[in-house]
């Protein structure tokens, strides 16, 4: 790593410019280029210890199967999406929290989609994204109006347009 501008060099090293020197990190730091790789290597090692399978084709997917239970862990940058039977998910979350500092966001937000579990259905929407786009174009405070819809026929002979 290059030496940060505010870093105080020892006096013994003043004879050469700072651009000649580098710092060796003992631990990877968040937001550095190698952090993602170091974090994934640590996660991969831990998941393999917990009897998850991982193949070379999809290295970001970890699968654990038994006769009555299954669990799938999908890694997306520094986020984990968990899929599986209820009992197995509870176990996974417990031992992931024991090993890593993490927040359980529940099943709410995945790849820009908001997911809401209702009694008999799953509702997927993008209202946060829509609000962000409206705000970006400064039209988030406008009042909606209803507009009439023109019904068109698929028969070209009957369609007046």
The whole-number pLDDT of residue 106 equals 67
- Proportion of the chain above pLDDT 70, given as a percent: 84
Q: Kindly report whether the global pTM for this prediction surpasses the value 0.75.
A: no
Highest mean pLDDT (candidates 56-70, 115-129, 147-161): 56-70
Q: Within 10 Å of residue 43's Cβ, how many Cβ atoms?
A: 19
In this predicted structure, what is the pLDDT of residue 57?
87
Element containing residue 46 per DSSP (H, E): helix 35-49
Cβ distance 89 to 97 under 8 Å? no
- Percent pLDDT > 90 in the chain is 10
Mean pLDDT, the chain, rounded, equals 80
- Residues 111/94, Cβ–Cβ less than 8 Å: no
Nearest Cα neighbor of 128 from 109, 143, 142, 105 is 109
For residues 142-151, average pLDDT? 75
The answer, yes or no, to whether residue 58 has pLDDT greater than 90, is: no
């Amino acid at each position: 790593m290059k030496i940060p501008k505010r870093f105080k060099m020892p006096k013994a090293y003043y004879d050469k410019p700072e651009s000649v020197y580098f710092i060796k990190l003992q631990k990877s730091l968040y937001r550095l280029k190698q952090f993602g790789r170091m974090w994934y290597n640590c996660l991969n090692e831990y998941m393999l210890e917990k009897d998850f399978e991982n193949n070379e084709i999809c290295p970001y997917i970890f699968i654990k199967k038994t006769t009555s239970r299954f669990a799938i862990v999908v890694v997306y940058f520094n986020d984990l999406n968990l899929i599986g039977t209820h009992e197995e998910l509870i176990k996974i979350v417990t031992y992931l929290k024991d090993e890593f500092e993490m927040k359980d966001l529940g099943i709410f937000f995945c790849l820009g989609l908001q997911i809401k579990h209702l009694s008999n259905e799953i509702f997927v929407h993008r209202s946060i994204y829509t609000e962000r786009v409206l705000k970006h174009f400064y039209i988030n405070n406008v009042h909606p109006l209803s507009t009439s819809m023109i019904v068109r026929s698929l028969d070209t002979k009957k369609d007046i347009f």
